[in-house]
């Protein structure tokens, strides 16, 4: 994939959007970890904690990109990303276990450790969207630094106001998951060769995966709303 090609730039935009969609948890972790610090130290904790977290994330993503050359990992990563996309839509993650630091170093350490533990979704998604291109991974994740620090809080506000934005994010993750699955080239299950020779089936499969994630997420959210309304009444 050439840097001057439209495919390269579309992949980069996909990575940036994935970072934005999945940055909400990072914003919450940062806010919780730094909430007990004085105002002058909060900015330092946010900056250095985010730098440390992004550095670890870049290294982890580069490792995953390399591992995707192994048989079955495209399929496994794609299936995991489908689950991640679904969980994004139903929003069941809790952050009650994030302890606020009382010193600058404690806050930085909490941000880095919590992000590493929670960042597997971002790592898998970005590795899949990069399609094995290291430069895309590094550029995309470097761009995600300001996205995580500043953009994620704005995105959370937009999602709270316009819930349909979350479904766009779920569709992007589902699309990336479907592409990962169709890239599986294990000898006994060479999906890559099959879908390359059946382009129509390739797009049908991608549409089915996206529809499956969006519909299942919508149904679960609808049931949750009905239960909440019944409990309230």
Q: What's the pLDDT at 23?
A: 63
Does the pLDDT value for residue 95 go beyond 60?
Answer: no
For range 86-90, the mean pLDDT: 81
pLDDT averaged over the chain?
Answer: 77
Q: What's the pLDDT at 160?
A: 65
- Winning range, highest mean pLDDT, from 38-42, 118-122, 207-211: 207-211
Model confidence at 200, pLDDT cuts 50, 70, 90, reads: very high
Model confidence at 215, pLDDT cuts 50, 70, 90, reads: very high
| pTM for the predicted model, two decimal places | 0.66
- Tell me the per-residue pLDDT of 155-183, one tens digit each, with 9 for 90 and over: 656 666 777 877 887 888 888 888 888 98
Q: Tokens representing 62?
A: 């580069």
Would you kindly state where each structural domain of the chain is located, as residue ranges?
A: 6-232
Q: What's the pLDDT at 32?
A: 61
CA dihedral 178, 217, 84, 204 (to 10 degrees): 0
Report how far apart, in Å, the C-alpha atoms of 186 and of each of 65, 74, 98, 172, 192 are.
16, 9, 40, 25, 9
């Amino acid at each position: 994939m050439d840097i001057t090609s439209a495919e390269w730039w579309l992949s980069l935009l996909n990575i940036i959007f994935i970072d934005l969609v999945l940055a909400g948890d990072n914003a919450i972790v940062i806010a919780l970890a730094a909430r007990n610090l004085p105002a002058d130290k909060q900015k330092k904790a946010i900056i250095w904690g985010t730098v440390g977290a992004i550095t670890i994330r870049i290294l982890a993503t580069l490792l995953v990109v390399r591992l995707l050359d192994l048989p079955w990992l495209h399929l496994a990563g794609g299936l995991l990303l489908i689950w991640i996309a679904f969980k994004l839509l139903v929003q069941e993650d809790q952050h009650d276990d994030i302890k606020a630091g009382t010193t600058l170093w404690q806050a930085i350490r909490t941000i880095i450790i919590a992000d590493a533990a929670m960042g597997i979704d971002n790592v898998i998604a970005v590795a899949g969207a990069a399609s094995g291109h290291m430069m895309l991974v590094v550029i995309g994740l470097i761009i995600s630094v300001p996205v995580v620090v500043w953009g994620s809080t704005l995105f959370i506000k937009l999602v709270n106001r316009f819930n349909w934005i979350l479904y766009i994010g779920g569709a992007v993750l589902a699309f990336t998951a479907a592409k990962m699955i169709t890239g599986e080239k294990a000898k006994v299950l060479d999906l890559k060769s099959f879908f390359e020779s059946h382009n129509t089936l390739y797009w049908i499969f991608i549409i089915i995966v996206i529809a499956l994630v969006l519909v299942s997420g919508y149904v679960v959210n609808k049931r949750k709303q009905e239960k909440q309304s019944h409990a309230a009444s």
